[in-house]
Structure 1
């Protein structure tokens, strides 16, 4: 399944395999966990979405304006993980 790097260059996506027993204690401790999700901040969500669609990704949520001011879209990979892209980037408080 092709994927689009944030630079715009198509990249192959190699999903991680399910946790095999050979992963020992870690594999046993995480065997019941499901897929995960990742949020990636992008500068131009419209262009990123267009490249994602053109690459043939499975779109879970089309480009959407949220009520908190972000512009996001979500794609799913072959392992069931969610890849969220958008402009939401809260500032951390000063120490």
Structure 2
């Protein structure tokens, strides 16, 4: 899921991570591997937000999915794996 700047801000207020800016040199490669997403880095690795059904009509929510784990102690190399839900759900606010 590709997020706008307001959605990124809302997500980061609920999820301790850093969003990779679209102009980051790794983004084109990540897009070719995982699709067009906003990518987040945290202590566990590389994550994206996948849309999910909201219990309230008109509210947009998503779940954080981990795509790659850090493979070194310096947090500089990632090892991709099958997408794993993290259990973290964030509210992006109103769909309107």
TM range (shorter): under 0.3
The structure having more radius of gyration, on CA atoms, is 1
TM-score (norm 1): 0.26
Higher strand share: 2
Q: Between the two structures, name the one with larger relative contact order (CA 8 Å, sep ≥ 6).
A: 1
Higher helix share: 1
TM-score (norm 2): 0.26
